[in-house]
Chains A and B, each alone.
Chain A
Amino acid sequence: METLFFLIISLVAIVSAILVVTLKNPINSALSLIMTFFCLATYYVMLDAPFMAAVQVMVYAGAIMVLMVFTIMLLNIRVDASKKHSHKLILGSIIGFFTFLNAFFVIYRSRAALPTGPYSGEMIKSVGHTELVGREIFTNFLLPFEVTSILLLVAIIGAVILAKKKI
């Protein structure tokens, strides 16, 4: 049952990812990308990471995609069907295919043999995923968490300055 569910979600994710690349109108691409993000959130739920799924839906499918759709509508670009793709279509497809082949070969021929940590599925279910992530982020990863705030500040200032009328 779960395998069937996994296959359906995979199919939806891959088809909508292909639609992102092939559709002419950027708005349709953005909507397909939101579908892909929801499928990834489903994967996170299946991987016992519900907090990550919530963050995925809120940050990606919510904030980032709203920003992107807003920009598309703000710029109001007409769809130019005549030169949608560049002449590098075949070359790009070959490179993408070999990227996949490379990744597939690595996945097929290797196995993860790193030392395993203490967080089993039962522990995540009993304690709660959000609590475990919070405990981890505010103890072991406190410094990167603080540095992230500086990154966001820089991004705010950069976005405001770049989007001004006269640079």
Chain B
Amino acid sequence: MENLNSYLIVSAILFSIGTIGVLTRKNVIVIFMCVEMMLNAVNLTFVAFSRHLGNLDGQIFVFFIMTVAAAEAAVGLALIIAFFNNKQSIDVDDVNIMKW
């Protein structure tokens, strides 16, 4: 087993790349994938801490995060399809119906 810090660094790098993707891309689906990547980076942190502290609570949390991510994926992709049906586009710049 590697030490804790190397896992945390990898997790921080993945989280930062996900942040950059969310902030710079315009395709909704790619933004969505970057959000999933950020969730996964947090999961890695949870599992690394859980193993380091000898406590399984972190891994149970990962379990629940995966459930929430699955629910989020289902609802988010349904939203994307509904948006595409209305605007024929998945560009975030076109999401401006509620803008005034």
Contacts and interface: CB of A to CB of B under 8 A. Distances in A.
Interface residues of A, number: 85
A17 B57 CA distance: 27
Contacts of B67: 148, 151-152
Contact of B81 (A3, A74, A96): A74
Contacts of A160: 78
Nearest to B40: A40
A90 to B, nearest CB: 9
Describe B's contact surface by its main secondary structure.
helix
Interface string B60-86: 101110111111111101111110110
A21 B17 contact: yes
Contact of B79 (A17, A48, A162): A162
Instruction: Please tell me the size bucket of the interface on B.
Output: 35 or more
Given A20-B34, A63-B70, A118 B25 contact: no
Given A20-B21, A84-B26, A107-B8, A163 B81 contact: yes
A52 B85 contact: no
Interface of A: 2-3, 6, 10, 13-14, 17-18, 20-21, 26, 29-30, 33, 36-37, 40, 43-44, 46-49, 52, 55-56, 59-60, 63-64, 67-68, 71-72, 74-75, 77, 83-86, 88-89, 91-93, 95-97, 99-100, 103-104, 107-108, 112, 114-121, 132-133, 136-137, 140-141, 144, 148, 151-152, 154-156, 158-163, 165, 167
